[in-house]
Amino acid sequence: MAFAAIGSNSTQTEQVPRRRSKVAIILLLPGLAYLALFFLTPLVSLVMTSLQTPVEFGDVGQYQAAFQIENYAIVVGAYWPHFLRAFGYALAATFFALVISYPLAYFIGVKARRWPLLQALMLTLVIAPFFISFLLRTLAWKQLMSDDSGLVSALKTLTILPADGHLTGTAFSVIFGLTYNFLPFMTLPIYTTLERLDTRYLEAGADLYASPFTTFWRVTVPLSMPGVVSGTLLTFIPASGDYINASASFLGSAQTQMVGNVIESQFISLLNYPQASALSVLLMGLILLIVALYVKRSGTEDLL
């Protein structure tokens, strides 16, 4: 092309954003100040607090600035199973959410296109849990899975569950709760990418001798990857830091405590701020590491 070197005129001028950085600074400054004050500074506070030591002969909850790096060794020694549980449960929940969401999102986004009203209705149902209290819907599952519920007695009659078995307070119920609660975060991004999927690609696949399954695997799945990546992130990150589902007053028990539960109780009940902070710093660091590796592996950096 003769003009490739010069480039198309109209796109060039449209794509180059205006460079009036003064206006940009005015627009950005309040938001940046907010983030600096209430996001970055708290992270610094967290790191500082995580290194504090108790005030000698002080009250409970009184700490002083120090460089007590041992706090980290102490929390890792004491709570590594909680980290494992947090990431294990979150991973399992992400997997199950993907298994439930993908076909659902595919049906709504691709198959239901011919019926816009059905599509809108199904989409509304997918986001319906957003509209009802997170805590109440988790409690609802707790009641539905309680020992004297019909579900448990049915499972016991079918001997799937032993006579002295429980559903609540187990790893199963915690993963179940996490899966349920973060399901919309998985379904919506996948739906968004599939909804934009041009069905002519599928026709082209069929035209080029691919079976429906091959077309799905070679065309649809790769094209929906951005949605899958953001869906898995939006599920995994909050699930690994959650402390509601695993708490004993909801779907968990003392045996299912995740790191979020430890942070919550150390901070709020035990007033052990340094340990809670050290756990928070570790949790955030690990999650950022996992996210960075995952994003890098899936090759969707531009997605963020």
Q: Confirm or reject binding of residue 280 to other proteins (CB under 8 A).
A: yes
Q: Confirm or reject binding of residue 185 to other proteins (CB under 8 A).
A: no
Angle at 69 between CA 66 and CA 71, to 5 degrees: 95
Task: Write down the least CB distance from residue 92 to other proteins, Å.
Answer: 17
Q: Taking a C-beta distance cutoff of 8 angstroms, is the pair 182, 234 a contact? A: yes
Q: Taking a C-beta distance cutoff of 8 angstroms, is the pair 256, 175 a contact? A: no
Centroid of chain to Cα 302: 19
Helices (H), 36-133: 41-50, 70-109, 116-131
From the list 20-28, 71-79, 163-171, 215-223, the region that binds other proteins by CB under 8 A is 20-28
> Which one among 77, 131, 157, 209 touches other proteins, defined by CB under 8 A?
131
CA–CA dist 66, 58 (Å, integer) = 15
> Which one among 78, 111, 115, 299 touches other proteins, defined by CB under 8 A?
111
Q: Confirm or reject binding of residue 162 to other proteins (CB under 8 A).
A: no
CA–CA dist 79, 95 (Å, integer) = 25
CA–CA dist 68, 8 (Å, integer) = 61
Two structure tokens written together for 9: 């005129």
For helices 221-241 and 273-298, angle between their N-to-C axes, nearest 10 degrees: 170
Two structure tokens written together for 283: 């949790």
Residue 174 or 283: the one with the smaller Cβ distance to other proteins is 283
Q: Taking a C-beta distance cutoff of 8 angstroms, is the pair 63, 274 a contact? A: yes
Total residues at the site for other proteins (CB under 8 A)? 99
From the list 28-36, 67-75, 154-162, 214-222, the region that binds other proteins by CB under 8 A is 28-36
Q: Confirm or reject binding of residue 113 to other proteins (CB under 8 A).
A: no
Q: Confirm or reject binding of residue 243 to other proteins (CB under 8 A).
A: yes
> Which one among 78, 132, 154, 204 touches other proteins, defined by CB under 8 A?
132
> Which one among 53, 113, 137, 225 touches other proteins, defined by CB under 8 A?
137
Q: Confirm or reject binding of residue 254 to other proteins (CB under 8 A).
A: no
From the list 73-81, 125-133, 156-164, 218-226, the region that binds other proteins by CB under 8 A is 125-133
Residue 5 or 160: the one with the smaller Cβ distance to other proteins is 5
> Which one among 55, 69, 74, 127 touches other proteins, defined by CB under 8 A?
127
Q: Confirm or reject binding of residue 13 to other proteins (CB under 8 A).
A: yes
> Which one among 93, 152, 167, 244 touches other proteins, defined by CB under 8 A?
244
CA–CA dist 270, 252 (Å, integer) = 20
Q: Confirm or reject binding of residue 60 to other proteins (CB under 8 A).
A: no
Q: Confirm or reject binding of residue 116 to other proteins (CB under 8 A).
A: yes
Q: Confirm or reject binding of residue 120 to other proteins (CB under 8 A).
A: yes
**Of all helices (H) and strands (E), which one includes residue 53?**
strand 53-54
Q: Confirm or reject binding of residue 241 to other proteins (CB under 8 A).
A: yes
Q: Distances in Å between the alpha carbon of 102 and those of 192, 211, 223, 227? A: 11, 20, 13, 10
Residue 161 or 303: the one with the smaller Cβ distance to other proteins is 303
